[in-house]
Structure 1
Amino acid sequence: MRLTPFRAFDWNLRSCGLHGHVTYRPDEEPLAERLHTSTPVGEAWRCLRCGTFALGAPAAAGPADEAPLVLRGRALRDAVILRLLAAERGIRGLLLLLLAYGIYRFDGSRQALRKTLDDYLPLLKPAAMKAGVDLEHAGPVRLIEHALTLKHSTLLLVSAGVLAYGILQLTEAVGLWLMKRWGEYVAVVGTSIFVPLEVYELVEGFTWLKVGALVVNLAAVVYLVWSKRLFGIRGGHAAFEAERHAESLLAVEHAAALA
């Protein structure tokens, strides 16, 4: 017997449990009658998201085609994907800001770092050799030694570049988390710009981590462009807004049909 723990998972009920039910009284009486019921403790209206009846007066009223846009079903899963992308961008952005600060501070303490490297590297060599590690040619050591040879102006440019990239990542995170269209455009453009660099790094030194990062970024770009109809794809912004408008009416009709 196959175990499918998420097969019966209801995204609609989960969202209502976190944010509350969404009730609406359409002006069209046939629809309103199907969304409304009376109980011994008062009236109840069917939730546009999960379809269950919620006690109390409706949260809003108006024409059915002007009902609030309620994310449900697949749209809720899409929102979760956007939030996961936003969290990944946010973590990366914070790490880049810390890295930029570290590079800036390193420039003022390179002499101390050089002294530490000269004092402790010889002490660690015997243990490293026993472990089969060539410490002098290890990646981190070579990176530190290369950084020690850079000019002050070069380090400042590197720090500024890393800082700018970190701010870009945080901007993407905010836009995606709030599910703003501008955030989706920033994420697609910002990610696409660095894809050639990721491909170059992969050619220079193959690792599965680099492959995974490249695949995730490419998948995010394709997903955002296709599902959000960016850059005129699948009708562009007009088709996207028409779809959102139709979804509000469909939510009312769906909730009414459940009755």
Structure 2
Amino acid sequence: MDFSLRTCSWRGHATYAPDETELAARLHVSTPAGEAWRCLRCGDFVVGEPRHRGPADAAPEVPRGRLLRDRFIMRLLAVERVLRGLVFVALAFGVYKVRNSQSQLRAAFDREMPLIRPLADQIGWNPDNSKIVHFIEKGWQLSPTTLTLIAVGLLAYAAIELIEAVGLWLVQRWGEYFAVVATALFLPFEIYELTERITVVRAGALLINVAAVVWLLWSKRLFGINGGGRAYHAEHSEESLLTVERAALAAPGEDGA
């Protein structure tokens, strides 16, 4: 997939006319249909006026190539974090809502269980050995204060997920660090859950989070890994089309020297 062309098809081409005459000449051509400027994202020449003008140093940062692919991956991770955060918000709301209704819910649960047993016998399900039923029964024994604290804890976890999502979606450096630290802190809990019971959802969530941590550490050069912050910023600069064209302009002068 050519992420540059796909992004240009969604958002339009990122053309820019620098004030520097020689640099502008490398980004501009005349055609029978009119003047055309080179897109800083996909590299194609686009007929029409440039979207922006100004000094080359003031040009917007336009990710392209691998950097654009990385941005796409980070935003997929952000969407996954949003969905997870919303799930925990719903759980927190549910726990908080029933904190003072345990006796009524328990009475309703005990009243309905005998009606469920004949159907359970037909499908071979034994409610007495069901972990779901035991988990619900344990919930009746918790005090309203404990349930409130559980709801607050669930909301705190949801907030962490949503902050991760914002940082990743905006492709911020702090978001990359926050996502790695927050995700790594909860990995031991996810591993412990698998020791209790292996499910597709738990195993899939663990694999996604491990892959996200490893990918962010290496690809985004966090904590000094793979060259660190200096290499990270240098890579962003080197990928810029304006940087490439500037280097091409400087090369003949260096050779002549």
Instruction: Tell me the TM-score normalised to structure 1 length.
Output: 0.88
Report the counterpart of residue 137 of structure 2 in structure 1: 145
Match of 1:45 among 37, 43, 46: 37
Is the counterpart of residue 61 in structure 1 residue 51 in structure 2?
A: no
Q: Structure 1 unaligned runs (5+)? A: 1-8
SS across alignment from 1:37: strand
- Aligned-partner Cα distance in 1 for 2:219–2:27: 31
Shift of 1:208: 3.3
**Higher RCO (C-alpha 8 Å, min separation 6):** 1
- Aligned-partner Cα distance in 2 for 1:208–1:55: 51
Shift of 1:105: 0.7
- Aligned-partner Cα distance in 1 for 2:239–2:61: 7
- Aligned-partner Cα distance in 2 for 1:252–1:210: 45
Report the counterpart of residue 162 of structure 1 in structure 2: 154
List per-residue Cα deviations over 1:7-42 (Å, max 9, x = no partner). xx3221111111111112345544432321123443
Letter in 1 for 2:130: A
Bigger shift: 82-91 or 239-248?
239-248
Report the counterpart of residue 5 of structure 1 in structure 2: none
Report the counterpart of residue 4 of structure 1 in structure 2: none
List per-residue Cα deviations over 1:186-239 (Å, max 9, x = no partner). 111111111111111111212233222111111100111111111122232232
List per-residue Cα deviations over 1:103-127 (Å, max 9, x = no partner). 0011121122111111110111011
Verify the 8 A CA contact 1:66 1:248 in the aligned structure 2: no
Verify the 8 A CA contact 1:68 1:248 in the aligned structure 2: no
- Aligned-partner Cα distance in 2 for 1:52–1:23: 9
Report the counterpart of residue 112 of structure 2 in structure 1: 120
Aligned residue pair count = 247
SS across alignment from 1:108: coil
Q: Structure 2 unaligned runs (5+)? A: 250-257
List per-residue Cα deviations over 1:127-172 (Å, max 9, x = no partner). 1011100123323221111000112221111111111000110111
Match of 1:240 among 228, 232, 236: 232
Instruction: Tell me the TM-score normalised to structure 2 length.
Output: 0.88
SS across alignment from 1:107: coil
Verify the 8 A CA contact 1:97 1:166 in the aligned structure 2: yes
Report the counterpart of residue 253 of structure 2 in structure 1: none
Report the counterpart of residue 195 of structure 2 in structure 1: 203
Shift of 1:49: 1.3
- Aligned-partner Cα distance in 2 for 1:106–1:160: 14
List per-residue Cα deviations over 1:43-64 (Å, max 9, x = no partner). 110112112222233322324x
Letter in 2 for 1:62: P
- Aligned-partner Cα distance in 2 for 1:226–1:24: 32
Report the counterpart of residue 21 of structure 1 in structure 2: 13
SS across alignment from 1:43: strand
Is the counterpart of residue 171 in structure 1 residue 163 in structure 2?
A: yes
Shift of 1:250: 5.8
